């Protein structure tokens, strides 16, 4: 079965410093991976996705993620954090061989950005 | 930009009552999903729906739950005889296709509180 592990439940960074949110996946097949962000009282918004094309994926708001098969990782990064990046971030794997492609979510990482 | 909408944003109900959660998916999408997130836990898949029938359901989605697309725009989740442990945030999602690379678009969620 597919699964994702988000290694940090909380991450704090100062505004203007780099962001790194870690995600490892487990999959028997070539996975489709996603990062979603959830701001308070908002729905889940797609940041970026990997679907077996380029391993370095660029998303919205300056975020990017690199798919590393050898490390089974899909870490999310951003060079310079903004206050507006404070939110909860979810790493998601799409379960590919189970009929419909349901999402398997990680436990989430809450990002705090300090002024 | 088209978005998934959900109503109500917050529903309070007494144990044993039935609730219906409403969702309006994006108009040209064909696949519909319900997920839930119990406070402090990860987002969990409940059910997927395509072509007016359930495509896949999780172990959580037992006889207490049902889904329906009563018209061309709404997608509902009915929970019969609610229990305290049904208290959670319920997210509706839709996607254009069911393929692995197709992202799911999420609504803002309905917070269900069972007292």
Number of structural domains chain B divides into = 1
Q: Does B66 reside within a domain?
A: yes
The enclosing domain of B11 has a CATH number of 2.60.40.10
Q: Does B113 reside within a domain?
A: no
Question: Which residue among B55, B93, B105 places its CB closest to the CB of A99?
Answer: B55
Q: Which residues of B touch A2 (CB under 8 A)?
A: none
Q: Does B20 reside within a domain?
A: yes
Give the pLDDT band of residue A51 (cuts 50, 70, 90): confident
Read off the pLDDT of each residue in A47-63 and give the average, rounded to a whole number.
91
Is it the case that residue B62 has pLDDT exceeding 80? yes
Q: Does B104 reside within a domain?
A: no
Closest CA to B91 of B28, B10, B23, B1: B23
Q: Does B71 reside within a domain?
A: yes
Q: Is B34 on the interface with A (CB under 8 A)?
A: no
CB pairs under 8 A between A and B: 64
Q: Does B25 reside within a domain?
A: yes
CB contact under 8 A, A102 and B103: no
Least Cα separation, residue A64 to chain B (angstroms): 17
CA dist A77 and A24 (Å) reads 14
CA dist B23 and B34 (Å) reads 9
A72-82 pLDDT, tens per residue?
Answer: 999 999 999 99
Domain boundaries in chain A?
3-114
Given this structure, which CATH class describes domain A3-114?
mainly beta
B73-109 pLDDT, tens per residue?
Answer: 899 999 999 999 999 999 999 999 877 778 899 999 9
Is it the case that residue A97 has pLDDT exceeding 60? no
Give the pLDDT band of residue B72 (cuts 50, 70, 90): confident
Q: Is B18 on the interface with A (CB under 8 A)?
A: no
Give the pLDDT band of residue A99 (cuts 50, 70, 90): low
Read off the pLDDT of each residue in B32-39 and give the average, rounded to a whole number.
94
Domain coverage including residue B48 = 5-96
Is it the case that residue A98 has pLDDT exceeding 60? no
Per DSSP (E only), the strands in B25-108 are: 31-37, 43-50, 53-57, 65-68, 75-79, 88-95, 105-106
């Amino acid at each position: 079965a597919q699964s994702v592990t988000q290694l940090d439940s909380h991450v704090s960074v100062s505004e203007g410093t780099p962001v790194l949110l870690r995600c490892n996946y487990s999959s028997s097949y070539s996975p489709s991976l996603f990062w979603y962000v959830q701001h308070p009282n908002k729905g889940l918004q797609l940041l970026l996705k990997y679907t077996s094309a380029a391993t370095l994926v660029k998303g919205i708001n300056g975020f990017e993620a690199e798919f590393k098969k050898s490390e089974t990782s899909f870490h999310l990064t951003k060079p310079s954090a903004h206050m507006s990046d404070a939110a909860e971030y979810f790493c998601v794997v799409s379960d590919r061989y189970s009929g419909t492609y349901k999402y398997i979510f990680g436990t989430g990482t809450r990002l705090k950005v300090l002024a | 930009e088209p978005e998934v909408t959900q109503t109500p944003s917050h529903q309070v109900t007494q144990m044993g009552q039935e609730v219906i959660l409403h969702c309006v998916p994006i108009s040209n999408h064909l696949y519909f999903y319900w997920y839930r997130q119990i406070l402090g836990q990860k987002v969990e898949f409940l059910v997927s729906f395509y072509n007016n029938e359930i495509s896949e359901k999780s172990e959580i989605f037992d006889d207490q739950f049902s889904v329906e697309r009563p018209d061309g725009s709404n997608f509902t989740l009915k929970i019969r005889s609610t229990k305290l442990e049904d208290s959670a945030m319920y997210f509706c999602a839709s996607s254009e296709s069911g393929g692995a690379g197709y992202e799911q678009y999420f609504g803002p969620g309905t917070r269900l509180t069972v007292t």
